[in-house]
Amino acid sequence: MLNRLTEIFRREQVTEDMLEDASRLFSENYGVWGQPPPGGRSFGKPGSRVKMSASRLRAQCLPEGSRSSYARVTVNGTLAGHAFACRWQCGDRQVCWITQLVVHRDYRERRLATTLLLALLDSGDDIFGIMSSHPAACKALARAFGNFVFPQVPLDFARQHAAGVLTGSPVSYIKNARLCGNIFNSGDVSGLKCGVDSNFFVDHDEPLDALARLKELGDGH
């Protein structure tokens, strides 16, 4: 019998020990560095694991003064997954952005990501977002927060409001991300509908394998 426990913590409740555990989960399970494009700068050696220290995790996902939170799920006492969220205002709407979502490779495809996201959901949230190349993360967000099937994701709303949402973020990698895709630039011929360039060059082999299992995600992904 599996004993599953989901917990949520406000930014100021997150201890250094929690962050050490979270950074270990991320560093061992998130992904590997990919090859940057010509002229691009990689933060790690291509093929090596993407790692993050506890201090960098706090600075990036729990910035000082932000309305950030941390959710974790343990299975029989083992940290099996976590999610960080940050909230801010965009006009009269409240944004809830998932700044990190990681599930241990031994516990995937058990709806743990959806469980974490639902735990973070607040009745005052109006806009939801995540920056991820992994289709499972995007699908979990759509299922947990909007119950969307991918062809019906409201891209018109993204076209109108994405720039304002990103620039209002207290999280630097979100604030500085560049919108890309043909809903933002009609001259974009990359085939991308809606995306961002965060200069975070993670290898896409695992996401592409996941995409093959999920089959086609539909417009915008």
Asked whether residue 47 is assigned to any structural domain, the reply reads yes
Find the angle CA(64)-CA(70)-CA(72) to the nearest 5 degrees. Answer: 155
pLDDT value at residue 204: 42
CA dist., res. 165 & res. 163, Å (int): 5
Written as one letter, the residue type at 100 is Q
Local confidence band at 200 (pLDDT 50, 70, 90 cut-offs) = low
Full domain range(s) for residue 51: 4-214
CA dist., res. 170 & res. 42, Å (int): 23
CA dist., res. 72 & res. 18, Å (int): 10
* Average pLDDT taken over every residue of the chain: 85
Q: Do the Cβ atoms of 43 and 31 come closer than 8 Å?
A: no
pLDDT value at residue 203: 43
Asked whether residue 92 is assigned to any structural domain, the reply reads yes
Asked whether residue 221 is assigned to any structural domain, the reply reads no
Q: Do the Cβ atoms of 81 and 72 come closer than 8 Å?
A: yes
Local confidence band at 105 (pLDDT 50, 70, 90 cut-offs) = very high
For the chain, percent of residues with pLDDT exceeding 90: 60
CA dist., res. 60 & res. 104, Å (int): 20
Asked whether residue 95 is assigned to any structural domain, the reply reads yes
Q: Do the Cβ atoms of 103 and 89 come closer than 8 Å?
A: no
Asked whether residue 220 is assigned to any structural domain, the reply reads no
pLDDT value at residue 141: 87
pLDDT value at residue 217: 42
CA dist., res. 172 & res. 184, Å (int): 21
Asked whether residue 13 is assigned to any structural domain, the reply reads yes
Q: Beta-carbon neighbour count of residue 16 at 10 Å?
A: 10
CB-hemisphere CA count at 13 Å for 1?
Answer: 2
Domain count, the chain: 1
**pLDDT tens per residue, range 117-170:** 999 999 999 999 999 877 788 888 888 887 666 566 778 999 999 999 999 999
pTM here?
0.84
Angle between helices 16-29 and 54-61 (to 10 degrees): 100
Domain CATH for 199: 3.40.630.30
**pLDDT tens per residue, range 159-199:** 999 999 999 999 999 999 999 999 999 888 888 888 888 77
**pLDDT tens per residue, range 58-96:** 999 999 999 999 999 999 999 999 999 999 999 999 999
